Amino acid sequence: MEGTLTVSQRLAALQRRRAAVLVALGLVLLLVVVVAVALGAVSVPLLTTARIILKRLPLLGRLVGVTWTPTEETIIISVRLPRVVLALLVGMGLAVAGAIFQGLFRNPMADPSIIGSSQGAALGATIAFFFGIKAGWGGLSAVPLFAFAGSLGAVIVVYLIARSGGRVSISSLLLVGIALSSFLASIVSLLMVVSEDRMHNIFFWLMGGLGTGNWDMVVAVLPFVLVGSAVSILYGKDLNLLLLGEERAAQLGLEVERFKWLMIGVASLVVGAAVSVSGIIGFVGLMTPHIVRLLTGPDHRYLVPGSLLGGGLFLVLADTLARTVIAPNELPVGIVTAFFGAPFFIYLLKRRRRAVL
């Protein structure tokens, strides 16, 4: 009885620690968002920035008096806030997708681009640039629309090729994804070589950036990130079962094929939506779940929401650094994430090698 009580107490303490990590991540994220919005070429005090944002919130807005200029409000609400919110959503989406793929593939090296979605998006965007397509829809230009279509098209092709006998093995999905990504990358390179005058636009899109972020993009990405995150959190317990292996998960009552189809579909939609408005931003989906896993453990009921908060935090910080470190010029945010992500990836390889030995 005493031993059972001790185990229960340890489990309760572990759950409290995990909950505390999520609360701390949420609070830090809120603070970083306000600081990121306040930073820029025109100085707006931090407290004023917070009050301008609070003024736009339902219920809380009536409690805040206006003590700022119309110019300051325009800068915060129309210029900086949409970009920061877009970085937040893109980071959240990529990190959640990374946590899903790492759970599905049972491979800590898996990231959101592993089944061709990123390269599909790159090809879609490149086609839009190459042919100079201008027509858009719903406030979005042709580039994000073509990128989203390319991302989904690549994932569907990978899934159909990997499917055999009504089943899709994880290893087949992985290998087909790698092969198709290489094929699509070769087409993108070919179009860049022959495009000449449009190569500059394609090149900068591929490096990732949020400089064109606006409220239309936020509205376009928001439902995918919200629904994808909610579904993955809801099925966190089933992702835990899959870590035991497909056969064991099926013995415990999980409909493995249906579940894989659901998770791949959800993660692919989130990645497609994120990449379509930001370009290819690497390492967010790879690094964030690993860091959160060190804080909360491998339980997906905590890992997924932790990755959601951590991914948003990481990309907001990276984008703030990208637009301020060499101001008034900007770095593509993909360079910043790669600068921190590549050393972390090497660290992971070293750590896995030591674990194997």
Report helix, strand or coil for 179: helix
Q: What is the DSSP string of 181-219?
A: HHHHHHHHHHHHHHHGGGHHHHHHHHT---TT--HHHHH
pLDDT band, very low/low/confident/very high, at 139 (cuts 50, 70, 90): low
Amino acid at 202: I
pLDDT on residue 305: 95
SS3 of 272-334: the string is HHHHHHHCCCCCHHHHHHHHHHHHHCCCHHHHHHHHHHHHHHHHHHHHHHHHHCCCCCCCCHH
pLDDT band, very low/low/confident/very high, at 5 (cuts 50, 70, 90): low
Give pLDDT tens digits for 281-312. 888 988 899 889 888 888 999 999 999 999 99
- CB neighbour list of residue 66: distance below 8 Å, 6 or more residues apart: 55
pLDDT band, very low/low/confident/very high, at 354 (cuts 50, 70, 90): low
Q: Which residue is it, tokens 């129309």?
A: 78
Stretch (H or E) spanning 9: helix 2-38
The string over 164-191, giving b where at least 16 C-beta atoms fall within 10 Å of a residue's C-beta and e elsewhere, is eeeebebebbbebbeebbeebbeebeeb
Judge whether residue 356 has pLDDT over 60: no
Give pLDDT tens digits for 95-129. 999 999 888 888 777 777 777 888 888 888 888 88
Judge whether residue 314 has pLDDT over 70: yes
Whether the CB-CB separation of 321 and 84 falls below 8 Å is answered with no
* Separation CA 52–CA 56 (nearest Å): 7
- Specify the pTM: 0.88
Nearest to 291 by CA among 216, 347, 236: 347
Token pair belonging to 131: 């042919």
Q: What is the DSSP-derived secondary structure letter of residue 60?
A: G
What is the number of residues in the chain?
A: 357
Give pLDDT tens digits for 45-65. 999 999 999 988 887 778 888
* Separation CA 110–CA 100 (nearest Å): 9
Judge whether residue 259 has pLDDT over 70: yes
Give pLDDT tens digits for 210-228. 888 889 889 989 998 999 9
